[in-house]
Amino acid sequence: MSNETTTRRRRGSEQPTLRQVADAAGVSPITASRALNAPERVNERTRARVLTAVERLGYVPNLLAGSLASARSRFIAVIVPSLANTVFIEVIQGLQDTFEAQGYQILLGNTDYDTDREYQLIRTFLGWSCSALVTAGLRHSEACRALLANWDKPIMEVMELGEALDLNVGLDHTEAGRCMARHLLGRGHRHILFVGARMHGDYRAGMRYTGHREVLEQAGCDAPLLELDHYGSLDAGAEGLERALTHPGGISAIHFANDDLATGALLHAQRRGLSVPGDMAIAGFNGLPLGQHVTPRLTTIRSPRQHMGQLAAEQVIRRLESKRVPRRQHDVGFELLIGEST
């Protein structure tokens, strides 16, 4: 005797639903729902029955349905320009640790330094009813800003400080550039080359250069800039060193846009038998472990990347929990690490 109804059959997995759990536990679906999502709102004994039924049936909640019904998912959209750069990975780690501990799931998007791609990603992510958005950087396309203007969930911009859409956690890259330039001047250098790679994408390197130039010009020095187009950073650093050696006017120190470039140069100097800082002083940015393991140790600026992710996540969570957290900026600062390379 079949119990097939004559109603239209619908796709639908074989997975047990909350209704079946509820039936098995002898309660209504809504009580079963509460037993799982708001334990304090049901009697302890009832809850135990529901949990037993869940276990026995191997029930897995359909989060799509739950999110649709409640109009909020526990997704956090995280958008970074690249995964190839350790810096973003560390920020993501900080975000992930903190968000996952609170039951949020990260939706990771990668723009490849393309603001149109960012717009597309954000559109998709809005479609998933994300609870919040975290993006690396303050630069967005107009379309993107328009899209976000009508969005009422928290937006967190990390990495640099500035005119933010909502929440903002980062550090002052211009000041970091000034800081290193001052250090190099203090070491007696007057002919300092700034070397970056693909700075159109990595515009924060451009901000550091701005600070660098400002300080050098105030001191009456030139601030030549060399921009490379390499993909492998270590190779680019090596090339940067070569080009500096033949730079018209002579160069005594290189301020690299990051530690990868700087380390590439340092290792290349070793191969070539050049003395650092005797023949050429070398400085970087980021404070990666690698730079502290080479000889001489790299002078660099350490940014608290993982901490930046954590702090950003904490701020977002606070905002999600208690409606009104003031729009605020958090400067996580940086630290000059003086090695023997300058």
How far apart are CB 35 and DNA at their closest, in Å? 8
Residues 197 and 318: their CA atoms lie apart, in Å, by 37
When binding is defined by CB under 8 A, the residue of 7, 13, 246, 322 that contacts a second copy is: 13
71 Cβ neighbours under 8 A, 6+ residues apart: 129
How far apart are CB 22 and DNA at their closest, in Å? 7
How far apart are CB 158 and a second copy at their closest, in Å? 16
Query: Is the Cβ of residue 33 or residue 315 nearer to DNA in the bound state?
Result: 33
- Annotate each residue in 107-136 with x if it binds a second copy (CB under 8 A) or - if it does not, as one string: xx-x------------xx-xxxx-------
Query: Is the Cβ of residue 130 or residue 253 nearer to DNA in the bound state?
Result: 130
When binding is defined by CB under 7 A, the residue of 24, 39, 42, 104 that contacts DNA is: 42
- Annotate each residue in 248-287 with x if it binds a second copy (CB under 8 A) or - if it does not, as one string: ---------------xx--xx-xx----------------
- Annotate each residue in 66-85 with x if it binds DNA (CB under 7 A) or - if it does not, as one string: x-xxxx--------------
195 is a contact residue toward a second copy (CB under 8 A): no
Angle at which helices 29-37 and 44-57 cross, to 10°: 100
34 makes contact, choosing from DNA, a second copy, none, with CB < 5 to 8 Å by partner type, with: DNA
Residues 212 and 192: their CA atoms lie apart, in Å, by 10
Within positions 222 to 251, which residues make up the interface with a second copy, using CB under 8 A? Answer: 232, 234-235, 238
How far apart are CB 23 and DNA at their closest, in Å? 11
Which of the ranges 1-9, 34-42, 69-77, 216-224 carries the binding residues for a second copy, by CB under 8 A?
69-77
How far apart are CB 279 and a second copy at their closest, in Å? 17
Instruction: Reduce the secondary structure of the chain to three states and give it as a string.
Output: CCCCCCCCCCCCCCCCCHHHHHHHHCCCHHHHHHHHHCHHHCCHHHHHHHHHHHHHHCCCCCHHHHHHHHCCCCEEEEEECCCCCHHHHHHHHHHHHHHHHCCCEEEEEECCCCHHHHHHHHHHHHHCCCCEEEEECCCCCHHHHHHHHCCCCCEEEEEECCCCCCEEEEECHHHHHHHHHHHHHHCCCCCEEEEEECCCCCHHHHHHHHHHHHHHHHCCCCCCEEEECCCCHHHHHHHHHHHHHCCCCCCCEEEECCHHHHHHHHHHHHHHCCCCCCCCEEECCECCHHHHCCCCCCEEEECCHHHHHHHHHHHHHHHHHCCCCCCCEEECCCEEECCCCC
Using CB under 7 A, list all residues that contact DNA: 7-13, 15, 17-19, 26-31, 33-34, 36-37, 40-43, 45-46, 59, 61-62, 65-66, 68-71
Using CB under 8 A, list all residues that contact a second copy: 11-14, 58, 60-65, 67-68, 70-71, 73, 83-84, 89, 92-93, 96, 100, 105-108, 110, 123-124, 126-129, 147, 150, 232, 234-235, 238, 263-264, 267-268, 270-271, 289-290, 293-295
